[in-house]
Amino acid sequence: MKTLNIHIVEDEDQLRETMALALAEEGYCPTMSQDITYPIKRMIPKGTDLVLLDLMLPGGSGFEVIRHLKQDTNIPVIVVSAMDALDDRIKGLDLGADDYITKPFSAKELLARIRCVARRMGMTNVPSQELTCGSIRLNLGDRKATRDGEDVPLTKREFEIMELLAMNRGRVVTREELLEKLSDQEGELTSNSLDVHIYNLRRKFDPETIQTSRGIGFQICDDGS
Ligand code: CA
């Protein structure tokens, strides 16, 4: 099966290399640019299936790349932006970016975003993956959860929360991050409804599954397995 060709536009050397390595290990075929060159049409290699795009770049702004991609191609683009650049992110989405990811991010989160966009675009050649956390398994292909091999029925929102926590296992995910990351596509997630979802997830799995870090956020229980 043909793999997805993913083009990375990022001027930070280390981040670009790290992303390329993570993509290659996952079975994708990464190519890279470290700045914007014109014409943009020639900067993006032929056969590119998806673009990961930093916005602040030498030689121009990533917005010009989004404009080009949305006008002249149907290649999906995921914006890779700094955490504090909310206006930029909104502008990017307004211009037609398909998703965004905020720095710093884990390789797992990057790969999950790519899978998510690729699925939405109907691309079938995406490596399937599973997130595991102790006895809990999240199948990202069919969006089903199991615990000790038993199905645990989750709502779409509950699965998204578990996915985000599991992608960031080993650290506390702040309440703000959860609200922000889960609010863009399916309407707004409020702080109150987040608490209800967490309550229900603890009921469905185990009270210990999700730890509260008071005043900060939540962390998925990592029992080391
Ligand atoms: Ca940059």
Which of the listed residues 85, 100, 127 is the one where a domain comes to its end?
127
Counted domains in the chain: 2
**Domain range spanning residue 114?**
1-127
How far out from the chain centre does Cα 11 lie?
20
Q: What is the pLDDT of residue 186?
A: 58
The rounded Å distance from CA 106 to ligand 1 centre is 17
- State the distance from the centre of ligand 1 to the C-alpha of 135, rounded, in angstroms: 39
pTM, whole model, 2 decimals? 0.62
CATH number of the domain encompassing residue 189: 1.10.10.10
The three state secondary structure string of 49-68 is: CEEEEECEECCEEHHHHHHH
Say which residues have a Cβ less than 8 Å from residue 210's Cβ, sequence separation at least 6.
165, 198, 201, 202, 218, 219, 220, 221
Q: Are 23 and 45 in contact (CB under 8 A)?
A: no
pLDDT by residue (tens digit) across 29-67? 999 999 999 889 899 999 999 999 999 898 888 999 999
- Residue 132 and residue 37 in one domain: no
More confident residue, 33 or 93: 33
Same domain, 79 and 4: yes
Q: Please check whether residues 15 and 110 belong to one and the same domain.
A: yes
Query: Which of 127, 151, 170 marks a domain boundary?
Result: 127
Task: Tell whether 142 and 54 lie within a shared domain.
Answer: no
Q: How far is the CA of 213 from the centre of ligand 1 (A)?
A: 32
Tokens for 78, please give them.
């995921």
**Residue 11 C-alpha to ligand 1 middle, in angstroms?**
5
Instruction: Report d(CA 77, CA 113) in Å as an integer.
Output: 11
